[in-house]
Structure 1
Amino acid sequence: SAVMGKFFGPITLIWFLSIGALGISSIMQSPFILALLSPHWAILFVVNNPVISFFVMGAVVLTVTGGEALYADMGHFGVFPIRLGWFLIVLPCLILNYAGQGALLLRDPSAITNPFYLLVPSALLYPMIALATAAAVIASQALISGVFSMAKQAIQLGYLPRLNIQHTSDSEIGQIYIPLLNWLLFISIIILVLLFESSSRLAGAYGLAVTVTMFCDTLLVGFLAYSYWKWKTWKVLLFIVPFIFIDLILLSSNTLKILIGGWVPVVIAITVFSLMMIWKKGREQLQAKLQQDTLPLNTFIEYLGDTAQTISGNAVFLTGTPGVVPHALLHNLKHNKVLHERNLLVTVNFAEVPYISEEARFETEALDKGFYRIRLNYGFKEQPDVPAALRKAFERLGLEYNLMDISFFVSRERLIPNASSKMGTWRDKLFAAMQKNTSPVSDFYQIPTNRVVELGSQIEI
């Protein structure tokens, strides 16, 4: 994808410049169409046709779709490139093209059959179709990349199980590939194509999804202004209410399309949200169970006798509950009757911020009898690399780091659903299935597989 990405920008630029040029050619024949830049025409239309205007809003919103994705793109490229690309290229070219289509329709109402392609000179029709196809492919790639990126962040925030994530670029950390999601997208798209048969019938589903996204974006910006920028309440309302008013009009108009396709994004949203909540609640319940059924670490160290044989080397126990003894440590002690010379309990934590400074990356604590506690902190957009982070943590603790002298012990829990569970039997079974199919923690944390020891445990939830 790193190689492909270099071609996306130029092709997209050619696409927008082309549709802008087509619009200009039509505008030159009917320059009066530029009066559309005045909003009073829209106001007059709404005043004179209030009922029709409400239904028209469901179609009007399709002219501004894509704008809701700017928020996601800012996370990848930053604010300045998005503003530059939008105001200098995308917005002007879109306005010119829509004005050109309007001018064509005023000259020839029969062009309503396909005003976009009827703008194109006959000699350029097939090249334009090829360019439009390329632009559509690039847009789909942006969607796929966005799904991968959001899924990765959801995993690191604890809302999805670990998935196999493959990095496709040596220089760009955001370029990733998640095989499972790619196949799910492929299957879903095939189903949608068979279900709707044409892109025009898909407009209802698309419009509802976009307007809900825009409404959520408005609420999030309001929350950001109030909680992070510390705006006064009246200022937030003055800024947000006009956007909410417009969003609600567009959203309510598109709700009329629920029965003709709008139900699709609703069903998808409910399904994904339910899976995320089941995973989140299930992990919380599992962590509480582990805390309840395991010895406190300080007590374990205090009463640790000399019965266990101590061997040289370092043992790293990956655990989400640093205050208690990891199951993997107990199993190792129970079955192998050995303890390593140094035992390091490592907890990887993902904060609800994109990035963590290097100063705040490590929290180290030296305990008694060769035990150490290490906390590695990452932002939800960062890629955890436990071996690299441990090198610096070892230096901070004054220990010698040699990866070939470290054994990573990981607990692999087998979950048994309990009829008296708080989540319910079907949710427990679904959570257990999700837990069973998570990718190995060693892959996710980039730990060499030849240094990993997995020890299983059975837990009733």
Structure 2
Amino acid sequence: MIFARPATVSAGLLALGIVYGDLGTSPLYSLQTIMHIMGDQFTRDAALGSLSLVFWALIITISIKYCFLVMRADNHGEGGILALMTLTGAHWAGRDRWLIIMGLFGAALIYGDGILTPAISVLSAVEGLNVATDIFKPYAMLFALVILVGLFAIQKRGTGIIGKTFGPIMLMWFSTIAILGLVGIVHHPHVLAAINPVYGVRLVTEHGFLGFTLLGGVFLALTGGEALYADMGHIGPNSIRTAWYGVVLPALVLNYAGQIGNFLDVPDLEANPFFKLAPTWSVYPLVALATLATIIASQAIITGAFSMTRQAMQLGYFPGVRIRQTSAEERGQIYIPFVNWTMMAFTVGLTAGFGSSERLAGAYGTAVSTTMILTTALLYHVMRNRWQWTLWQAATITSILLAIDLAFFSANLLKILDGGWIPLTFGLLVFVIMTTWHYGVEATRRRNVALSQQPARFFARLRKDNVARVRGTAVFLTRVGEAIPPIIVNYVKRVGSLQETVICLTVSFEHVPRIRSKDRVRIEQLDDGFWHVTVHFGFVEIPNLPAVLALAKKEGVPVLDKASYYIERGDFSSHKHRNLLAQCRIALFSFMSRNSAHAIDRFKIPSSALVEIGRRIEL
């Protein structure tokens, strides 16, 4: 059964505001793009075929694939391709490493989608002014740039205040486009015949290569589908499904049908079919509403990029960046300056470079279609290994979904020379950063393990050398959990003393979203006054070490109120026998390490209590 428990009205409104902005604004440009692809061949039958393709794409990909199947694959309530990747149980050191590579590349491509979504959405809305008058046509791009810069500039204030208005605005948007669609259907009710998939099949098969090409335009109606899964942890699956089946899907189908009905009644290949639905007097308020809706759509992808960055960072696939919590009540409301301003720079550059939503449509879709294929492939392994489906059950469902995904993916590949290479290149750059960071972290960990000492040997050496134990508490942060890490060994060697209370602290980010309080801290006393404490966090949690270490008092660890925190800051270099590729990866890792977020920002350590120890490390 789809709805395991009823969703509240407020949760449904929240789903409309956060999840469906991108999908909800696709009518602004999807059919317009198809019309421009077909040109003079966009006849009556081609119009009905296009509507049929859009309708069945929404049913199969969104209603069945994402709402019914993919959203069942939740990692303790969290969704998204990184959560799906962890559900496969793959390990980087195992033979199934390619599943992790697929998940990381899919996540990286979402950044590529993220720099295009705000650009095409806002430009499409602003260009609606051209329907009423040509006066604003030269300034459409300038208006869009001002809106986009303002959108990214207010991110630091968080979504807590403006988020309350998202749902009602999107409800107004979906109600409006549904009513406009009904008007178009009344003018030409024959469009309802497009529910027959034969119209769509005939359009693709009878037009040869052109029919295949227009699938790239049809796919634009599906962009935003990944948001359903990615935002599941914030909204809940039932609310997302209820909003889709009850509001979003009917409104989209009605509007697409209305656009085609209006076109059949008054053919016009030049005008935007969405704004042609509206009476002349309503164009200006409709543009204003559409602009608000596209801003919300852009907000959703930006927030998603923030959440995904935090997940990747805490799973060990992204360098540390500064994260600001923008709400005391909602853990999901965060702001990451580096990601925000990087995305703004690329989005503004693309908007100015392409200049129109029609040209941007040529670049849009390649990244999303690739991510959808990777999601289907990962879902197959979850079906087999997690859900215990039989081979024929999993293979049958996957084959159908994969055939549709591959058709859209192949059509979008034709866009590469028109700008489709941009989101793919951006995604590839993020993927290189992710894999390089993981490579460097693992190489550093292996190096530290090799230089560590066994506890028995270390404590015997302390007593043999009569190392002085001075007053105070020292907390040494380390990734090494089973031995005495090099940071402590070197500290004793250089200073010749050690605090009377020493905490060897390991922060472990688990492959689950959140950790229960009783499982947060694991304590082991290695020797008199020497403790090993492991603190566990989920991959969506923001670590606060001083607050968490207060829990250790209950287990007998001395008071840590005046502790000094020691952390190692490495300067990395490659071994001279390394090949050129390895040397480049280590150089990139060293650069990212030097510029990554400070421990003060990542772990909430008081700046006055932090001591950094520099060390040159050869990997």
TM-score category (smaller protein): over 0.9
2:244 is equivalent to residue 86 of structure 1: yes
Opposite residue 345 of structure 1, the aligned amino acid is C
* Local SS of the residue matching 2:244: helix
Stretches of structure 2 that go unaligned for 5 or more consecutive residues are 1-157
2:540 is paired with a residue whose SS is coil
Residue 28 of structure 1, CA deviation:
2.1
CA contact 1:417–1:432 (8 Å) conserved in 2: no
User: What's the C-alpha RMSD, in Å, of the aligned pairs?
Assistant: 1.8
Residue identity in the other structure for 1:399: V
Cα offset, 1:293, TM superposition: 2.6
Kindly indicate whether the alpha-carbon contact (under 8 Å) linking 1:105 and 1:112 is maintained by their aligned counterparts in 2. no
| 2:563 aligned with 1:406 | yes
The residue that corresponds to 1:312 in the other structure is: 471
Cα 1:105–1:112 shift into 2, 3 Å: farther
Out of 522, 526, 529, the position equivalent to 1:367 is 526
Identify which of 576, 579, 591 aligns with 1:433: 591
Q: Does 1:147 align with 2:301?
A: no
CA distance in 2, matches of 1:230, 1:355: 25
Matched, 1:389 2:538: no
Q: CA deviation at 1:400?
A: 4.0
Q: How does 1:22-421 map to 2 (within 5 A)?
A: 22-110=180-268, 112-305=270-463, 307-396=466-555, 398-403=556-561, 405-421=562-578
Contact 2:569 2:613 in 1 (8 A): yes
Alpha-carbon distance in 2 for matches of 1:363, 1:139: 42
1:383 is paired with a residue of what secondary structure?
A: coil
Deviates more, 1:33-42 or 1:166-175: 33-42
Q: Give the partner amino acid of 2:552.
A: A
Whole-Å separation in 2 of the counterparts to 1:334 and 1:248? 60
What is the deviation of 1:4?
A: 1.6
Q: Deviations over 1:34-67 (max 9, x none)?
A: 2222323223334444443212211111122222
Q: Matches of 2:424 and 2:436 in 1, distance apart? A: 18
Moved more, 299-308 or 117-126: 299-308
CA distance in 2 between partners of 1:24 and 1:193 (Å): 33
Q: Report if aligned partners of 1:164, 1:439 keep a CA contact under 8 Å in 2.
A: yes
Q: Distance in 2 between matches of 1:208 and 1:249?
A: 12
How far apart are 1:340 and its partner, in Å? 1.7
Unaligned segments of structure 1, at least 5 residues: none
How many Å apart are 1:280 and its aligned residue? 0.8
Alpha-carbon distance between aligned partners in 2 of 1:298 and 1:355, rounded to the nearest angstrom:
35
Q: Is the 8 A contact 2:187 2:265 kept in 1?
A: no
Contact 1:68 1:217 in 2 (8 A): no
State the Cα deviation string for residues 38-97 of structure 1 (Å, max 9, x = none). Answer: 323223334444443212211111122222321112132121111011111111111111
Q: Distance in 2 between matches of 1:179 and 1:51?
A: 44
Residue 318 of structure 1 aligns with an amino acid whose one-letter code is L
Between the aligned partners of 1:258 and 1:357, the Cα distance in structure 2 is: 46
Aligned mates of 1:47, 1:270 — CA distance in 2: 34
Distance, in Å, in 1 between the alignment partners of 2:375 and 2:175 is 29
Q: Any idea what SS the aligned residue of 2:359 has?
A: coil
Rounded Cα–Cα distance in structure 2 between residues aligned with 1:443 and 1:325: 26
Instruction: Map Cα deviations across residues 169-221 of structure 1 (whole Å, 9 max, x no partner).
Output: 11111111111111111111122123322221121221212211221221222
| Contact 2:188 2:261 (8 Å CA) reproduced | yes
Aligned length: 459
The amino acid across from 1:184 in the alignment is T
Identity over the aligned pairs, expressed in percent? 39
Once residues 600 and 567 of structure 2 are traced to their aligned partners in structure 1, the CA distance between those partners, rounded to angstroms, is: 8
Compute the displacement of 1:5 (Å). Answer: 1.1
The whole-number CA distance in structure 2 between the counterparts of 1:110 and 1:80 is 41
What residue is the counterpart of 1:442 in the other structure? 600
Deviation per residue, 1:391-412 (Å, 9 max, x gap): 212312x234342x32211111
Amino acid paired to 2:415: K
Contact 1:329 1:409 in 2 (8 A): no
Letter in 2 for 1:223: H
How much has 1:460 moved relative to structure 2? 1.9
Distance 2:313 2:283 in 1: 45
1:333 shift after superposition: 2.6
**Deviates further, 104-113 or 340-349:** 104-113
Residue 364 of structure 2: SS of its match in structure 1?
Answer: helix
Question: Could you report, residue by residue, the CA deviation over 1:341-382 in whole angstroms, capped at 9, with x for unpaired residues?
Answer: 221111111122222233332222111232111111222112
Q: Aligned partner of 2:469: which letter?
A: T
> What SS does the aligned partner of 1:270 have?
helix
Q: Aligned to 1:159, what secondary structure does the other structure show?
A: coil
* Distance in 1 between residues matched to 2:256 and 2:460, nearest whole Å: 75
Q: Give the Cα–Cα distance (whole angstroms) in 2 for the partners of residues 120 and 336 of structure 1.
A: 77
- Distance (whole Å) between structure 1 residues aligned to residue 235 and residue 314 of structure 2: 21
